[in-house]
Amino acid sequence: GQDEVEVATLAHTVVIVEAPGLGDEVQVLKAGLLETGHILVVNKADHDGAEQTVAALQAMLDLAGGTPAVVDHHGVRMSARAPADDRAGDGWRPPVLATIATEGRGVEEVLDAIEAHRARSASVADLGRRLAEAQLARALDEALRRLLAEHLDPAAYDEAVQAVLNRSVDPYTAAARLVSGLRPGAVPGGGRAPLCNS
C-alpha cells in the first residue's frame, strides 16, 4: 500500500516479490507497487499459476507504460507518458523473473538484475537528484497534509473515516472526495508562490 510506496522512495532498487495463484497482481497494481518496483519476481515458480502470474505482470507493465501518470523510481509522479520499456525515463524496464527460492533456482538472475539496475543508476548526479526529488516529495506531502487539515470540514473528515472503517469506501476514494469537496479559493495562495526567496 501507501507505506510500501513511501519506503520505495528511499530505496535505490526495489524488488517486488509475488507468489503465483493468489491474485496479488491486482493488489500490486492498486497499491502502486508495480510502478515503484525495479525488478518483479514471481517466487514459487514451480507452483500452479506461476506462468500466468508472470504473464499478468508482463501485461501490466505493458499497460502501465501507456498511462498518463507514471511514478518514477523514487515515487515522484510525472505527468508525461512514457513508453512501456522506459516508464521512468531512464531506459530501465523492470524484468519479471521467476524463482524457486527454496532450491536457489532463479536467484542468480535476480542478483544479476539488481546489479544491472545498480549499475544503470550509479551516477552520483542521478542519485543526488533522485534523493532530492524524494526529499521534496516528502516535504510537499507534509505541507499539503497540514494545509488540507486546516481547510477540511471536520464533520466531512469524520464521516470519511467512518466510511473507511465500515469498508463502505476505500481510503483513496474517501480522500479524493474530501479534496473535491474543498471550496474553490478555500486554500490560500491559489496563485503560484515564488520557488525561492531572492
Name residue, grid cell 513511501: 6
Residue spans per domain, the chain: 2-120, 124-180
Distances (CA, A) of 5 to 28, 57, 103, 184: 11, 18, 30, 30
pLDDT at 120 over 50: yes
Strand order in the sheet with 39-42: 15-18, 39-42, 96-98
Amino acid symbol at 165: L
- In the chain, the percentage of residues whose pLDDT exceeds 90 is 24
Q: Would you give the DSSP letter of residue 71?
A: E
Nearest to 42 by CA among 26, 59, 21: 21
Least reliable range by pLDDT among 9-13, 96-100, 191-195: 191-195
